[in-house]
Amino acid sequence: MKNTLLLLAPALMLACASPKSNVKSTSATTTSTSRKADGWQTLFNGKNLDGWKAAENPATFSVQDGAIVVFGPRAHLFYDGPVNNHNFKNFEWKATVKTMPGANSGMFIHTDYQDTGWPSKGYEIQVNQTHTDWRKTGSVYAAQDVKEVFVKDDEWYTEQIKVQGKTVTVSINDKVINTYTEPDNITGTKKLSSGTVALQGHDPKSKVMYKDVMIRVLPD
Protein backbone atom coordinates (compact mmCIF):
# COMPACT_ATOMS: atom_id res chain seq x y z
CA MET A 1 0.00 0.00 0.00
CA LYS A 2 2.83 2.34 0.93
CA ASN A 3 4.56 1.62 -2.39
CA THR A 4 1.31 2.26 -4.30
CA LEU A 5 0.91 5.68 -2.67
CA LEU A 6 4.48 6.60 -3.55
CA LEU A 7 3.85 5.71 -7.20
CA LEU A 8 0.63 7.73 -7.32
CA ALA A 9 2.14 10.90 -5.83
CA PRO A 10 4.07 12.09 -8.92
CA ALA A 11 1.02 11.50 -11.14
CA LEU A 12 -1.14 13.61 -8.82
CA MET A 13 1.42 16.41 -8.83
CA LEU A 14 1.51 16.44 -12.65
CA ALA A 15 -2.29 16.48 -12.85
CA CYS A 16 -2.45 19.49 -10.52
CA ALA A 17 0.28 21.39 -12.37
CA SER A 18 -1.12 20.80 -15.86
CA PRO A 19 -4.19 23.13 -15.74
CA LYS A 20 -2.08 25.97 -14.33
CA SER A 21 0.39 25.60 -17.20
CA ASN A 22 -2.44 25.71 -19.73
CA VAL A 23 -3.91 28.87 -18.20
CA LYS A 24 -0.59 30.70 -18.54
CA SER A 25 -0.23 29.71 -22.17
CA THR A 26 -3.75 30.89 -23.05
CA SER A 27 -3.26 34.20 -21.23
CA ALA A 28 0.00 34.94 -23.06
CA THR A 29 -1.60 34.25 -26.43
CA THR A 30 -4.57 36.50 -25.66
CA THR A 31 -2.31 39.37 -24.58
CA SER A 32 -0.17 39.10 -27.70
CA THR A 33 -3.24 39.08 -29.95
CA SER A 34 -4.82 42.11 -28.25
CA ARG A 35 -1.66 44.18 -28.76
CA LYS A 36 -1.88 43.63 -32.51
CA ALA A 37 -5.66 43.86 -32.80
CA ASP A 38 -5.83 47.67 -33.19
CA GLY A 39 -3.25 47.68 -35.98
CA TRP A 40 -0.85 50.30 -34.60
CA GLN A 41 2.83 49.65 -35.34
CA THR A 42 5.84 51.40 -33.84
CA LEU A 43 8.16 53.31 -36.18
CA PHE A 44 10.65 54.49 -33.54
CA ASN A 45 12.16 52.11 -30.98
CA GLY A 46 13.04 54.80 -28.43
CA LYS A 47 16.74 53.87 -28.50
CA ASN A 48 18.20 54.82 -31.88
CA LEU A 49 17.23 55.86 -35.40
CA ASP A 50 17.16 52.39 -36.92
CA GLY A 51 14.64 52.42 -39.77
CA TRP A 52 15.08 56.14 -40.44
CA LYS A 53 17.27 57.98 -42.96
CA ALA A 54 18.41 61.54 -42.34
CA ALA A 55 19.14 63.96 -45.18
CA GLU A 56 21.23 67.13 -45.56
CA ASN A 57 22.31 67.57 -41.92
CA PRO A 58 21.98 64.23 -40.08
CA ALA A 59 23.41 65.66 -36.85
CA THR A 60 20.17 67.66 -36.46
CA PHE A 61 18.58 64.42 -35.20
CA SER A 62 19.52 62.56 -32.03
CA VAL A 63 17.86 60.29 -29.49
CA GLN A 64 17.64 61.38 -25.85
CA ASP A 65 15.50 59.95 -23.05
CA GLY A 66 13.41 57.86 -25.44
CA ALA A 67 12.62 60.72 -27.83
CA ILE A 68 13.82 61.92 -31.21
CA VAL A 69 15.34 65.36 -30.59
CA VAL A 70 15.28 67.71 -33.59
CA PHE A 71 17.72 70.58 -33.10
CA GLY A 72 20.05 71.98 -35.73
CA PRO A 73 20.27 73.20 -39.33
CA ARG A 74 17.62 72.29 -41.87
CA ALA A 75 17.27 68.53 -42.25
CA HIS A 76 14.62 65.87 -42.77
CA LEU A 77 14.33 62.42 -41.25
CA PHE A 78 12.55 59.96 -43.55
CA TYR A 79 11.11 56.65 -42.40
CA ASP A 80 12.98 53.96 -44.33
CA GLY A 81 12.07 50.88 -42.29
CA PRO A 82 10.21 47.63 -42.86
CA VAL A 83 6.66 48.60 -41.86
CA ASN A 84 4.61 48.33 -45.07
CA ASN A 85 7.93 48.67 -46.93
CA HIS A 86 7.84 52.39 -45.88
CA ASN A 87 5.12 53.10 -48.44
CA PHE A 88 1.77 54.30 -47.13
CA LYS A 89 -1.40 55.38 -48.91
CA ASN A 90 -4.31 55.31 -46.44
CA PHE A 91 -3.11 55.39 -42.83
CA GLU A 92 -3.10 57.04 -39.44
CA TRP A 93 0.17 58.45 -38.10
CA LYS A 94 0.66 59.83 -34.61
CA ALA A 95 3.37 61.04 -32.28
CA THR A 96 3.71 62.59 -28.87
CA VAL A 97 5.34 65.97 -29.47
CA LYS A 98 6.94 68.76 -27.47
CA THR A 99 7.98 72.11 -28.96
CA MET A 100 10.33 74.53 -27.26
CA PRO A 101 9.61 78.30 -27.50
CA GLY A 102 9.95 79.67 -31.02
CA ALA A 103 10.32 76.21 -32.60
CA ASN A 104 9.07 75.11 -36.00
CA SER A 105 8.89 71.56 -37.39
CA GLY A 106 6.59 69.36 -39.44
CA MET A 107 5.32 65.85 -40.08
CA PHE A 108 5.39 64.97 -43.78
CA ILE A 109 3.03 62.52 -45.49
CA HIS A 110 3.14 60.84 -48.92
CA THR A 111 6.74 61.99 -49.40
CA ASP A 112 9.99 60.46 -50.69
CA TYR A 113 13.58 60.66 -49.54
CA GLN A 114 15.60 63.49 -51.04
CA ASP A 115 19.16 64.57 -50.24
CA THR A 116 18.64 68.30 -49.79
CA GLY A 117 15.97 70.98 -49.59
CA TRP A 118 12.37 71.00 -48.46
CA PRO A 119 10.57 67.79 -49.50
CA SER A 120 9.02 68.35 -52.91
CA LYS A 121 6.50 65.50 -52.67
CA GLY A 122 3.44 65.20 -50.47
CA TYR A 123 2.17 67.47 -47.70
CA GLU A 124 3.66 68.89 -44.52
CA ILE A 125 1.48 68.89 -41.41
CA GLN A 126 2.74 71.82 -39.39
CA VAL A 127 4.25 71.66 -35.88
CA ASN A 128 4.49 75.23 -34.55
CA GLN A 129 3.06 77.02 -31.53
CA THR A 130 5.12 80.24 -31.28
CA HIS A 131 7.45 80.43 -34.30
CA THR A 132 7.02 83.58 -36.41
CA ASP A 133 5.39 81.57 -39.22
CA TRP A 134 1.65 82.28 -38.90
CA ARG A 135 0.75 78.73 -40.01
CA LYS A 136 0.32 76.87 -36.73
CA THR A 137 0.19 73.26 -35.57
CA GLY A 138 -2.27 71.18 -37.56
CA SER A 139 -2.00 73.18 -40.78
CA VAL A 140 -1.88 71.19 -44.00
CA TYR A 141 0.87 73.53 -45.01
CA ALA A 142 -0.15 76.12 -47.63
CA ALA A 143 -3.18 74.01 -48.58
CA GLN A 144 -5.47 74.51 -45.57
CA ASP A 145 -3.84 76.40 -42.76
CA VAL A 146 -4.64 76.85 -39.08
CA LYS A 147 -4.07 80.18 -37.30
CA GLU A 148 -5.29 79.15 -33.83
CA VAL A 149 -2.87 77.68 -31.27
CA PHE A 150 -4.22 74.65 -29.36
CA VAL A 151 -1.27 73.65 -27.16
CA LYS A 152 1.60 75.29 -25.31
CA ASP A 153 5.34 75.07 -25.82
CA ASP A 154 7.29 72.85 -23.43
CA GLU A 155 4.31 70.50 -22.92
CA TRP A 156 3.82 67.05 -24.43
CA TYR A 157 0.79 66.66 -26.69
CA THR A 158 -0.41 64.16 -29.30
CA GLU A 159 -0.55 65.07 -32.98
CA GLN A 160 -2.41 62.54 -35.15
CA ILE A 161 -2.85 62.55 -38.91
CA LYS A 162 -5.35 60.42 -40.80
CA VAL A 163 -5.14 60.04 -44.57
CA GLN A 164 -8.12 58.38 -46.24
CA GLY A 165 -8.64 58.79 -49.96
CA LYS A 166 -8.61 62.51 -50.71
CA THR A 167 -9.09 63.61 -47.10
CA VAL A 168 -6.50 64.52 -44.46
CA THR A 169 -7.74 64.84 -40.87
CA VAL A 170 -5.51 66.33 -38.18
CA SER A 171 -6.24 65.85 -34.47
CA ILE A 172 -4.52 67.45 -31.49
CA ASN A 173 -4.96 65.61 -28.18
CA ASP A 174 -7.77 63.57 -29.81
CA LYS A 175 -9.65 66.68 -30.97
CA VAL A 176 -10.10 67.17 -34.73
CA ILE A 177 -8.83 70.66 -35.62
CA ASN A 178 -8.42 70.46 -39.40
CA THR A 179 -10.08 68.42 -42.14
CA TYR A 180 -8.76 68.98 -45.64
CA THR A 181 -10.25 67.45 -48.77
CA GLU A 182 -7.96 67.72 -51.76
CA PRO A 183 -9.52 69.15 -54.96
CA ASP A 184 -9.43 67.04 -58.10
CA ASN A 185 -7.53 69.66 -60.09
CA ILE A 186 -4.28 69.54 -58.03
CA THR A 187 -1.20 69.20 -60.24
CA GLY A 188 2.49 68.68 -59.52
CA THR A 189 3.97 66.56 -56.72
CA LYS A 190 2.65 68.40 -53.67
CA LYS A 191 -0.47 66.29 -53.47
CA LEU A 192 -1.84 63.04 -52.08
CA SER A 193 -0.54 59.86 -53.68
CA SER A 194 1.48 57.43 -51.55
CA GLY A 195 4.92 57.40 -49.99
CA THR A 196 6.75 57.48 -46.71
CA VAL A 197 6.54 59.84 -43.72
CA ALA A 198 9.19 62.24 -42.43
CA LEU A 199 10.04 64.64 -39.61
CA GLN A 200 11.41 68.12 -40.26
CA GLY A 201 14.34 69.99 -38.77
CA HIS A 202 13.42 73.56 -39.72
CA ASP A 203 16.24 75.81 -38.53
CA PRO A 204 19.10 75.97 -35.97
CA LYS A 205 16.96 77.76 -33.37
CA SER A 206 14.07 75.26 -33.44
CA LYS A 207 14.07 72.43 -30.92
CA VAL A 208 11.31 69.82 -31.04
CA MET A 209 10.98 66.33 -29.51
CA TYR A 210 9.01 63.35 -30.83
CA LYS A 211 8.24 60.06 -29.09
CA ASP A 212 5.66 57.23 -29.35
CA VAL A 213 5.84 57.51 -33.14
CA MET A 214 3.31 55.01 -34.51
CA ILE A 215 1.42 54.23 -37.70
CA ARG A 216 -1.70 52.25 -38.56
CA VAL A 217 -2.21 51.16 -42.16
CA LEU A 218 -5.81 51.50 -43.39
CA PRO A 219 -7.49 49.63 -46.27
CA ASP A 220 -7.24 51.20 -49.73
pLDDT above 60: residue 203? yes
Closest CA to 100 of 127, 73, 133, 134: 127
CB atoms near residue 119 (< 10 Å): 24
CA distance 182 to 104: 24
The span from the CA of 216 to the CA of 2, in Å, is: 64
Task: Select from 214, 162, 177 the least CA-distant residue to 36.
Answer: 214
Considering the entire predicted model, what is its pTM? 0.83
What is the per-residue pLDDT for 37?
Answer: 62
Q: What is the pLDDT of residues 82-126, one digit of tens each?
A: 999 999 999 999 999 999 999 999 999 999 999 999 999 999 999
Contact 217, 39 (CB under 8 A): yes
- 137-177 pLDDT tens trace: 999 999 999 999 999 999 999 999 999 999 999 999 999 99
Please indicate whether residue 5 or residue 46 has the higher confidence score (pLDDT): 46
Percent of the chain with pLDDT over 70: 83
SS3 content of the chain, % helix, strand, coil (to 5): 20, 40, 45
